[in-house]
Structure 1
Amino acid sequence: MFFLATGQDRQGNIVEYFGKEKVNEINEGKLFHVFQKGLAVKVQGRAPINFPKDQVFDKFLNDGSYNPSAGDIFDIDGRGDAMKWEAISVDSTSSFSDRSLRSSFVYLSFTSEKEKIVLFEASGHSVALVNGFPHEGDHYDFGYSLIPIKLKKGLNTFVMKVGRFPRIRARLIEPSAPQLFTSRDMTLPDILNEESMQYLGGIRVVNSSEEWIKNSSVKAALEGKSDGLRLGLIDLPPLSVTKIAFRTPTIGGLSEEEALINLDLIDSKGKSLAATEVTLKVKSKNDYHKRTFLSEIDNSVQYFSVTPTTEPATENQALFLSVHGASVEATNQARAYKKKDWGTLIAPTNRRPFGFAWEDWGRIDAMEVLAEAKSIYKPDPQKVYLTGHSMGGHGTWYLGATYPDHFAAIAPCAGYPDLLEYRNSFTRRLRTMNAEQLKRFGMTPEMVAEMSNPPALLPMDAMVQRAGNPSRTLKIKRNYLHLGVYILHGEKDNVVPTFIAQDMRKTLGEYHNDFVYYEYPDGTHWYGDHSVDWPQLFDFFKARKIPETSSLKKLEFYTTSPGVSASSHFVTIQQQEKPFELSSFNFNNEEGFTIDFENTATAELDLSSFESVPETIVVNDQEIKTGSAKKLVLKHVDDKWEIGSAAPKSEKGPHRNGGFKDAFRNNVVFVYGTKGSAQENDWNKMKAMFDAETFYYRANGKVEVIRDTDFSAATYKDRNVVIYGNSDSNGAWKALLKDCPIQVETGKVVINGVTLSGKQWGSYFVYPRQDSDVATIGVVTGTGLAGMKATYPNHYMVNGTSFPDFTLFDSSALQIGLDAIKCAGFFGNDWSMETGDFQWK
């Protein structure tokens, strides 16, 4: 956490500090300006999840001349009260800090004598507009925010939305060099002295110049003992901060407790642009430690923490996947457990301490770590278990339901199964508060009443929310039949109210016959190590195994998207009939092989695990001759089931099934357009940079951002691509989207032959790369500057939000939210609109 304060050095001199650093000893440069005065306006109301209303940013985005003064009335709120800009000043820690700042926006300004490149460092805000362009904030107060900007000569404006805490800090730093490393937020491994191997790390590079640094890489060398190694090449955009991966030389057999690694930023000609040193801890693999790996989401370096077994060999032991709570680091999660003599515990990161509540990219991170750990520790494949606390308790409910055949048993501790249910529990608590108590949450009794009685969903709202069905854990609750379930909850938990666990006990009691419910006497949300490391919980695990497929007599499985979860044991639901609605199969082999499907267009049966393949199976009451084939593809055509061939990779399937968020994986690259007007080009670029900043902050991510002129299909083969701009402004559009039924150009959008004119239209959509069997194209587009500004929110990088394959909206989105949507829906399995499901307004 970074804050400005005063203290004394060893000589007794008064020194100002910003966090742990002296103000004039900043690693990245020297202090240029600390913001001391500003304005604030309070905006009541809770934003919708998908399309948040944001009238303050809407004003600054669309009126470059707007420059408020103290006492100016910004607007009139719903109660008829004036929303005034109030003068604010910093406290003794140079923070704008007051409870009244909840639900507020802060306006800061700086007049520069000339154009100048500085680093904008701020914290406590969820997002910022700097001279009218959006930038990711530091709402968790990590102290990571460091954004190179070019000050204009004259007035420069900074508008910041207050984040989780009613405290804002901001300053400008003069960078010490055009390119430099920053030690903030490194991802580093532990060196294990029993192993001889290369290690992966991640460090951020600041490019504070206005030049592209092409084909750069980081060379890492063990000080004085080995030559350096370089990992990959990456282009660094002007005025950017990018987290770059590095790989050490092979290291082993060190006797020291630390190893010093020299890092050099190397350009395409082999010249060193920046240098630094990082220290790696040397540990025994028998101690608590961290391991790093390269994620397939974005080719970034991630880590997981390990609580090793007390036994020398890990093969054929158990493996415990433990998912952490909000604000908890994976290292602390692992240390909450004592070592076991019968298994290894691994704790993934969820991509951040807050991350994605183990959904979306947090879900992928957990499954990547599970696969990585299986390859390292080679556990008994039938002895894999899942547990977690608080948000990790939610992750346990969610991952267990989503991937039920991956685990023998699950143990949610202080968890909630569904994000919406947890929010509803917050509403239930708000209803017990008086007006003064509600004020602390930025709420009023009227707002609580509105939340308690939401209006019925309109067809458009229902279509958008349908994309969020993979987050509706209780829709697939019968998947818990695969698993033993141990529910552990504190008797007096007021963070995740105990009634949520009691509700799940009642729910499971209606159909499940293998679960335990334990309410820890007098336990609050956290009551010491027993909150997670509860002996009876692990005894419950020890008595259960994942069943062999060949032994199964009954099996049920449910999913709302094959792109999230498609399989259980020997059955894969490849395609749905109605996208993102509940699909299922119900298998029974007690008196003959029968299987019933719901909302399934194509499914695959892998019968190779069975001793003998039945010559006849019954599918939805229809007999099918198998021909004793080990693998069968079943297709539902004209209300009949038949054996067919697998759907071509060009169609939807588990490999790419849509939903706009699906674009942000598979080593995604952001491509912004440079062929439009100067203003359009600036917006294309800054929106791509904003999304990259957000993915870095929320997901510890690394996304390449490139110009359309630098994109080639061969260079970025089989990688997902997100295009910013339209067919006129982005040169990569015609190469990637020429056959797409949605075409967006300056002044109009054509949707399967329907033309809408005007420059106010914005859209998010996905479409398959025609030159790839696996890659997806995401599109952030507008028919003009107004349309592109309407795409400003990037809530598609927030867990719990829902975005279909296609969403079209107009420039009123920041004023009226979801009501601005004109069309939304899902492509069919052949990626056509004719076979899809779309809602128009």
Structure 2
Amino acid sequence: MAIGLLCASLVLCLLVCFCDAAQRERVIVPAVDRRDNPPLSLSSSWQVLGPFQIGTRESTWGADPLEYIGGFRKLQYDPDARFRSSLPTNGTAKWNITEATQVSTSPTSANASLSISYSNVDWDFLKVVYGWAAVQYQAWARGELTVHGNGTQHVILYTDAILEYWVDGIHYFGGDFYTYRKAPPVLYVSPGRHNIDVRLVRDVRAFGGILVPTIDVLLHVQLTSGILELAKPGILMSDVVDGRLASSVGSVVLRNGGEVDIEIVDIQSSHVRPPISLQELESQMVLAQDSRVLTAGQAKRTSTPNNASGIVLVAGQTRPVAFDISLPTYNVSSVKYVITYRTVESNQLGTLKISQNLTRTSVYTSHKITYLHPGGMVSYAMLRPPAKNASCTPGQRASLPVLLQLHGAGLEADNGMVAHALDPVPDLCAWVIFPTGVTPWSGDDWHNWGFADVEAAVNSIPSWIKYVGWTGPDVDINRWIVSGHSNGGQGTWYALTHRPDKILAAAPASGYASIQKYVPYELWQSADPRRTAVISASLNSYRHEMLMSNAGGIPIQQQHGQLDDNVPAYNSRLLAQQLFLSGANSSYNEVPGQNHWWETVMTTPQLVSFYYTQTKGDEILPRSLDEFEIVIGDPGDMGSKGGIKVLLLEDPGQYGRVHVDGHITTSNVLSLEFELTVFKSQAVTIDNDIVGLGEASGKRGAGTVTISRQNGVWRPGLLDESNSILYRRGRQLGSNTAILRTQGAFIIRHQGLNTTSHIALQVSRNLHQYFQADTEVIPSISQNGTGIGTGNVITIALSNHLPSSLHPDFPIQPNSSGVVVRDSRGRQRQYSSDDTSLGATFLQPLEEERLELVLWGSDAEGLAQAARLVPMLTGVGQPDFVVLGESAKWKGVDGALAMGFFDHKWEITPSSVVS
């Protein structure tokens, strides 16, 4: 909303209108009628203000035009007030009263459903010009939660399809955009009326782009126990195959609904014996620093406050807890466990009983297996081993490949539509596995977090073989055939372009080319092109249309419904063309008369023939190719191709390229690794430098050698590693989303203030909501991030209360006056907090390729702005560092004072913006 471009008189008129509106008496929204004296109720009438422009995934950056006048929360209802907006007729938005489509109450809960639409916008014409981007917009709604009776209530608040809201002036960012219902906030509400301000954001990927562009949301408030409780019913555990568990690890999701921290001290099978006393527990506990799973009578020791020694849930937190599961007897129909816990302020014990009915099936059918995700929590996949009657060729390898089938958005892997999608081809010569990607939306579209789950699922198959005593064909976990539908089709493109040396073949069906090609990034707030270029560059690794040369030499069978109105067939047509233009190729099947999904979408005759042909293939991987090209958006995401892996880019804000045709030519590449079994030359010519591979030192053992460009010349060996903190590598590479490459639970540490604890809990809640991640919250930042757990660290700090970085000369230094940024030329830029709120988010190194993500604010508002950029939704575009001014609240990306990338020495790159 470009208010600054309006004439002075119009601006004055608007500001007078805003001020008048702010001074008028608030209209009280009537609460729903009480029936049988329910304890809670939500408004049946809501005050709604909108619509306003918003771009694809832009809301994370703020971009709310009402923030220019102090924010919606400071406005009072006024039907005569008008607000400048680029969408409605006459360019003005206004208030209205909207009745909830449904309200209900019960003895323990209350609901209110809202459906918001605008007839004063010519959506059809806007779509003609801007496509689906035009039917994304934002608005605000205000209602009330009423607590009846005389006592304070502990409640949880579900916010389906809502990203951001305020309750009694307290800000909650993250919400539940995909209606996961995994981690609602715990609220302590006193009797009376409580204001709820809801930011409504319409997103095509979440709401659709074909029908009338409504925003449909639900608020559900529910009483909670005020103590430890199950956040999700039951136990996540494997199926029972032929009488035995398919895997031994299980998990429960717990929520601390009280106001004091709770420690989990024991999980015991109730079939074995009742829970024991704390004194008995303490005498039996052993240290288990390297374990991420609790065994009976054993609690994981961690660095926790108040002398707690087990797993701690701070007040209001939701955490998954992993533990070993076994069957007490052969013929039981369920398993039952007792969780023993205590508050960290006392030795008084409490117990929580949990149970799960068993699912029994045959080892040869698709069944649930569980395993540990690198993030430390339990995940699952559906596994179908090779059938007894699979007729594999006599000369075929003893170890069969893995056929991955990636599901679409909104589906669980154990859904019949997914787990039985390949039932029509039961005798494939392959291990068929259906990963979940951790969540129904695959965490992050099968990219970083979701793809780590894919690899963990594949790597768990050898353990499954030993655990169940499998005597059939072995598995080769480094030979993949990848297929998937919709978002899973996009995930197939990701696997194909990022792990080419593992891919035997690929069959992407109805997948989109990239986030930007699916729903265009039009209608963002106007911004400096250098800033939008940084956002685009931070998504380089996910733009498959730019990465098609990585697929060279790999058999590909594309498929798309001709009439697809969800993911247009243009996406597959585009990638087929890009494959051809890059020297690769594919078979393309566009199915006449079919839309996005039909019952046999993954078993059409073309796909069935492709599965049988490719699973019986005996091609050697990695392939030895005479000529090929690699394009790299993020070396931290990228595997090898043709036996060559890019380890470092010169400027991570730009693509790197390697072309091989007897000689090697590179662009924007600093370091390469060669697999000698594939690249068998004694010497290579690279950018006209001749390098002997026999002189190079291996990074991962005798089978690999590394060469690096130093002072413009390629030489054997890695770049100087005398101090590993000084050099960025491996899991540290990439944009802000690199923080998701954690090895263990996230560590969230803060100053212990009300402001920082609220943000810490919000970050913890969002990481669990959107990634099902585990987090440990610690109210202390008295030291740097070393020696705290094994996972990546998120540090939350105000003003100058930030421990010094392990890096001795880090280019970003917050202080009591603001923040200092040193640009690529060594010039220092001071951003002062004297007249504005500042927020900053940036990565910095920890030992052993760990990362710390710092969230810093000059005050509470600046800190809240920084916290918005913790990875959550895909497509947002979060670079390595951002310094936000107060204007980002309404300008979005253009309100970033500095933003960009760190190179391999943790220096700010020339492609960054430091203004």
Normalising by structure 2, we get a TM-score of 0.77
Decide whether aligned partners of structure 1 residues 410 and 351 sit closer, same or farther in structure 2, where only a CA change above 3 A counts.
Answer: same
Q: 1:603: how far off?
A: 1.6
Decide whether aligned partners of structure 1 residues 202 and 728 sit closer, same or farther in structure 2, where only a CA change above 3 A counts.
Answer: same
Q: 1:710: how far off?
A: 8.5
Residue 411 in structure 1 maps to residue 488 in structure 2: no
**What residue in structure 1 maps to residue 448 of structure 2?**
360
Residue 371 in structure 1 maps to residue 459 in structure 2: yes
| Alignment partner of 1:567 out of 640, 663, 667 | 640
- Counterpart of 1:209, as a letter, is G
State the secondary structure of the residue aligned to 2:714. strand
Q: 1:271: how far off?
A: 2.7
- Counterpart of 1:358, as a letter, is W
Decide whether aligned partners of structure 1 residues 67 and 480 sit closer, same or farther in structure 2, where only a CA change above 3 A counts.
Answer: same
- Counterpart of 1:524, as a letter, is N
Query: Are the aligned partners of 1:230 and 1:246 in contact in 2 as well (CA < 8 Å)?
Result: no
Return 275-284 or 476-485, whichever deviates more: 275-284
**What residue in structure 2 maps to residue 838 of structure 1?**
912
**What residue in structure 2 maps to residue 27 of structure 1?**
none
The within-5 A match list for 1:271-670 is 271-297=349-375, 299-311=376-388, 316-332=399-415, 333-338=418-423, 339-355=426-442, 356-373=444-461, 376=464, 378-380=474-476, 383-424=479-520, 458-512=529-583, 515-532=586-603, 534-542=607-615, 544-549=617-622, 551-588=624-661, 594-608=663-677, 614-627=681-694, 631-648=704-721, 649-650=724-725, 651-666=727-742, 667-670=744-747
| Alignment partner of 1:190 out of 235, 239, 249 | 239
Decide whether aligned partners of structure 1 residues 354 and 31 sit closer, same or farther in structure 2, where only a CA change above 3 A counts.
Answer: farther
Counterpart Cα distance in 1 of 2:889 and 2:619:
49
State the secondary structure of the residue aligned to 2:905. coil
- Counterpart of 2:650, as a letter, is E
Counterpart Cα distance in 2 of 1:775 and 1:60:
41
State the secondary structure of the residue aligned to 1:505. helix
Q: 1:270: how far off?
A: 8.6
Query: Are the aligned partners of 1:126 and 1:162 in contact in 2 as well (CA < 8 Å)?
Result: yes
Q: 1:477: how far off?
A: 0.8
Return 340-349 or 104-113, whichever deviates more: 104-113
State the secondary structure of the residue aligned to 2:47. strand
Decide whether aligned partners of structure 1 residues 251 and 124 sit closer, same or farther in structure 2, where only a CA change above 3 A counts.
Answer: same
Counterpart Cα distance in 2 of 1:381 and 1:553:
26
After superposition, the C-alpha distances for 1:6-26 in whole angstroms (9 at most, x for unaligned) are xxxxxxxxxxxxxxxxx99xx
Residue 774 in structure 1 maps to residue 849 in structure 2: yes
Residue 246 in structure 1 maps to residue 322 in structure 2: yes
- Counterpart of 1:740, as a letter, is F
Query: Are the aligned partners of 1:48 and 1:817 in contact in 2 as well (CA < 8 Å)?
Result: no
**What residue in structure 1 maps to residue 255 of structure 2?**
206
Q: 1:614: how far off?
A: 4.1
State the secondary structure of the residue aligned to 1:567. coil
Counterpart Cα distance in 2 of 1:87 and 1:800:
31
- Counterpart of 1:624, as a letter, is V
Return 570-579 or 163-172, whichever deviates more: 163-172
Decide whether aligned partners of structure 1 residues 322 and 170 sit closer, same or farther in structure 2, where only a CA change above 3 A counts.
Answer: same
After superposition, the C-alpha distances for 1:80-99 in whole angstroms (9 at most, x for unaligned) are 32421525345366533334
After superposition, the C-alpha distances for 1:447-471 in whole angstroms (9 at most, x for unaligned) are x8x68xx989612221232111111
**What residue in structure 2 maps to residue 430 of structure 1?**
none
| Alignment partner of 1:84 out of 81, 95, 105 | 95
After superposition, the C-alpha distances for 1:105-140 in whole angstroms (9 at most, x for unaligned) are 222224556654332234342333223221532333
Residue 139 in structure 1 maps to residue 177 in structure 2: yes
Decide whether aligned partners of structure 1 residues 716 and 545 sit closer, same or farther in structure 2, where only a CA change above 3 A counts.
Answer: farther
Counterpart Cα distance in 1 of 2:635 and 2:405:
25
**What residue in structure 1 maps to residue 230 of structure 2?**
181
Residue 161 in structure 1 maps to residue 199 in structure 2: yes
Query: Are the aligned partners of 1:566 and 1:654 in contact in 2 as well (CA < 8 Å)?
Result: no
The within-5 A match list for 1:28-177 is 32-47=40-55, 49-50=57-58, 52-55=61-64, 58=67, 66=74, 68-69=76-77, 71=79, 73=81, 75-78=83-86, 79-91=90-102, 95-100=112-117, 103-110=138-145, 115-131=152-168, 132-144=170-182, 146-151=184-189, 155-162=193-200, 164=206, 166-177=215-226
Q: Which has the higher contact order (CA 8 A, sep 6+)?
A: 2
**What residue in structure 2 maps to residue 16 of structure 1?**
none
**What residue in structure 1 maps to residue 305 of structure 2?**
none
Counterpart Cα distance in 2 of 1:735 and 1:87:
51
| Alignment partner of 1:671 out of 728, 748, 773 | 748
Return 225-234 or 748-757, whichever deviates more: 225-234
Counterpart Cα distance in 2 of 1:235 and 1:140:
28
Counterpart Cα distance in 2 of 1:185 and 1:837:
50
Decide whether aligned partners of structure 1 residues 504 and 549 sit closer, same or farther in structure 2, where only a CA change above 3 A counts.
Answer: closer
Query: Are the aligned partners of 1:35 and 1:170 in contact in 2 as well (CA < 8 Å)?
Result: no
Query: Are the aligned partners of 2:140 and 2:198 in contact in 1 as well (CA < 8 Å)?
Result: yes
Counterpart Cα distance in 1 of 2:261 and 2:446:
36
Query: Are the aligned partners of 2:497 and 2:547 in contact in 1 as well (CA < 8 Å)?
Result: yes
Residue 741 in structure 1 maps to residue 811 in structure 2: yes
The within-5 A match list for 1:260-279 is 260-267=335-342, 271-279=349-357
- Percent identity between the two aligned chains: 18
Counterpart Cα distance in 2 of 1:549 and 1:276:
47
State the secondary structure of the residue aligned to 1:526. coil
Return 315-324 or 620-629, whichever deviates more: 620-629
Decide whether aligned partners of structure 1 residues 514 and 96 sit closer, same or farther in structure 2, where only a CA change above 3 A counts.
Answer: closer
Query: Are the aligned partners of 2:760 and 2:777 in contact in 1 as well (CA < 8 Å)?
Result: yes
Query: Are the aligned partners of 2:747 and 2:788 in contact in 1 as well (CA < 8 Å)?
Result: no
Counterpart Cα distance in 2 of 1:711 and 1:72:
55
After superposition, the C-alpha distances for 1:19-53 in whole angstroms (9 at most, x for unaligned) are xxxx99xxxxx964444343222233223535544
**Matched length:** 769
Query: Are the aligned partners of 1:408 and 1:545 in contact in 2 as well (CA < 8 Å)?
Result: no
State the secondary structure of the residue aligned to 1:408. strand
Q: 1:709: how far off?
A: 5.7
Counterpart Cα distance in 2 of 1:743 and 1:155:
44
Normalising by structure 1, we get a TM-score of 0.83
**What residue in structure 2 maps to residue 687 of structure 1?**
759
Counterpart Cα distance in 2 of 1:727 and 1:588:
54
Counterpart Cα distance in 1 of 2:339 and 2:902:
47
After superposition, the C-alpha distances for 1:271-320 in whole angstroms (9 at most, x for unaligned) are 334333233323332222111111112x1111111233212899612310
RMSD: 3.4
Q: 1:815: how far off?
A: 0.8
